[in-house]
Amino acid sequence: MSKSSRVLIWSLVVAVASCGLCGVGTLALSALGLMAGDDSPGDSPAAPTAHAAAQPGAPGGFAFDPPQGWTSPGQGRVLQQRKEGDELISVEVIRLPAVPGLDGAEAKLAQLWTQRVGADWQGVTGTPLILRRFVSNGARAYFTAAELRPLNGTALTRVSLYLVEAGDRLEPLVFIQGHADPTHLSVTQDTFARYSWNASHAFVEAAIAGVRGSPVGLPLVADEAITGRFLYSSGANAQWVNTLTGATSMTAVSYSVRYTFGEDHRYTYQLKGASGVVGAQRFDSERDEGSWRVEHDQLILTADSGKTRKFLIVGAPLTPEGKRALYLLPEPQWSLAPGNLSTHGELYVAE
């Protein structure tokens, strides 16, 4: 899958306008069944170690303490916004009713995405790419995100839906990243909104720091999800025109990376690439092998030569076509900010 495809899958946009989940405007409480109450917060346990046995997490399975300075419009919502000149960026968090059971979290997230988000935003179709992360105390969360417009609005926003493991249930949280600046032309509003996602993502991470679930101490993905043969490929090209003669040429770069992860925790790695002027490109290749292991939310590869590669695991989802995949961020690009994911994220699809 190309990076441009991943950008489309990942860009969940939500307009800060009047829609059921939106923070500004009419909130469709009857449709969403929003919950205003939280479980009693407690002390956050220390971050778990790799492959530790699962332990209870937050009291009651779930706690959400909004950061200081966030306002509470009510109805289970909290809001943070920052104004710089005429530009306003914001993040609103909405808590939805709990979903019973921890099993089948990815399927439950996809269903909730279609039903709840799809009821108020345009373009919610197909199966979303479900990713994973840890919340503040090391409990697991499943999430997806995209750029969307509300059914009755035009502003571009980014919407993320999380399901946090919480004892015997999954706790849903909706994050709405908004942007507004009346001085921008209508044709450039979307561009400036997209530029704002990385800035407002800091608010998202601040909110996640107040989320605690249960259990803690489990790896983000099981070893079984890593085993198999996976392929990642990428490429780009540019066309050049001689303004004096009108002659044209094209340069291109493309490469593919293939990993095979064995059940015996051995891996093989192969890179093939080509770059240069089309028709006279240079081809290169690289091979490696060694051992692999999962530690908490990292995939660590130790080559027989002693070289170590580390990846942050962003998920082990199914693609919209139903194929197994690994979504990885190579060290040190370990930010979940939208711009970083679209630029550095590597989606390996099973062959």
Token digits of residue 331: 């060290």
Token couple for 79: 């809001």
pLDDT at site 8:
36
Let me know the angle formed at the C-alpha of 102 by 101 and 108, rounded to the nearest 5 degrees.
85
Least confident of 4-13, 25-34, 185-194: 25-34
**pLDDT at residue 338 above 80?**
yes
Average of per-residue pLDDT across 264-290: 85
Q: What percent of the chain has pLDDT over 90?
A: 61
The per-residue pLDDT of the chain, averaged, comes to: 83
3-class secondary structure, 144? strand
Report the range of poorest mean pLDDT among 159-168, 231-240, 282-291.
231-240
**Which of 245, 236, 218 minimizes the C-alpha distance to 276?**
236
Instruction: Give the tokens for residue 112.
Output: 């909730």
Phi, psi of 321 (to 5 degrees): -85, 0
Contacts of 344 (CB under 8 A, 6+ apart): 329, 330, 333
Q: How confident is the model at residue 199 (pLDDT cuts 50, 70, 90)?
A: very high
Q: Confidence band (pLDDT; 50, 70, 90) for 21?
A: low
User: How many Å is the maximal CA-CA distance in the chain?
Assistant: 74
The domains of the chain, with CATH numbers, are 3-212 (no CATH), 223-295+297-350 (2.40.128)
Residue 47, C-beta contacts closer than 8 angstroms, at least 6 positions apart: 137, 138
Query: pLDDT tens for residues 169-196?
Result: 999 999 999 999 888 877 788 999 999 9
Reported confidence tier of residue 125, pLDDT bands at 50, 70, 90: confident
Q: Which residue has the tokens 């909405």?
A: 94
Confidence tier at 84 by pLDDT (50, 70, 90):
confident
